[in-house]
Amino acid sequence: MDRELQLLIDLQALDTRIAGLEREAARLPKEIEAIQASVSTARSSLDATKARLDTTKKSIRTREKDLDVWAAKRAKAEARLYEVKTNKEYSAVLVEIEEIKQEKSRIEEEILTLMETQERLTVDIRDADAQLKHAETEGKVNEAVVREKLRAVESELAGLRNERASLAAGVPPAVLAEYDKLLKARGGLAVVQALPSQICAGCRMAIRPQAILELRTHTQLIHCESCGRYLYWQDSA
């Protein structure tokens, strides 16, 4: 096989491997971000639940103070029962006391509801804290695995790029320039096989019989007339 063609075939094999590793090198950091985001979400959920619990506790304290105020109002109103001088005044104070009792009862119901919420949130916090610890432990392990994969990929990439540079140095500049142009224009595939069915493996278009003959003699570099890629013929074993 023509030396230049063999160099291009080898270069294409390297570039295909490099492209795959570059995709992996771009994907793995996103996987790390997703792991970290999962832990962050668990932490945010716990923080939000704690904030709701704090708000609930404050509301309970506020309503308990309100309850004390209304209890004092009732005590004063009941004390006035012994001071009024007419039935009308007595009835008015009784009405006032009833209204106070109703408001006090409403506040007590609110406090009970808030206490139930407090109990539920306390359980939720315990569950959320357990979920966070699990996410942190699992995330730490998974992130370490992914980072190790990334280091391995980057190391292999560095080696392949050095290998590519050495290989590319043996390709005539004009041929290498055309190869690189094709590589970008044709989705990372600049050199393809002419299949036994006499079609281009890149674009699946038919190849002229004369071109097939020339490919089989390996006498010169031949382009696919449809897609422009370099073609080569691989004899059956």
pLDDT band at 74 (very low <50, low <70, confident <90, very high): very high
Q: What's the average model confidence in pLDDT over 167-178?
A: 95
For the chain, helix (H) and strand (E) counts, in that order, are 4, 3
pLDDT band at 237 (very low <50, low <70, confident <90, very high): low
- Name which of 12, 1, 16, 208 is nearest 223 in CA terms: 208
pLDDT band at 91 (very low <50, low <70, confident <90, very high): very high
pLDDT band at 3 (very low <50, low <70, confident <90, very high): confident
pLDDT of 1 strictly over 80: no
SS3 state of residue 206: strand
pLDDT band at 195 (very low <50, low <70, confident <90, very high): very high
Q: What's the average model confidence in pLDDT over 169-197?
A: 95
pLDDT of 24 strictly over 90: yes
Q: How far is CA 77 from CA 63, 97, 121, in A?
A: 21, 6, 38
**Overall fold of domain 3-171:** Helix Hairpins (1.10.287)
What are 129's two structure tokens? 């804290």
- Predicted TM-score of the model (pTM): 0.76
Q: What's the average model confidence in pLDDT over 127-153?
A: 97
Q: What's the average model confidence in pLDDT over 205-225?
A: 88
Q: Domain ranges for the chain, please list them.
A: 3-171, 175-233
Calculate what percentage of the chain has a pLDDT beyond 90. Answer: 90
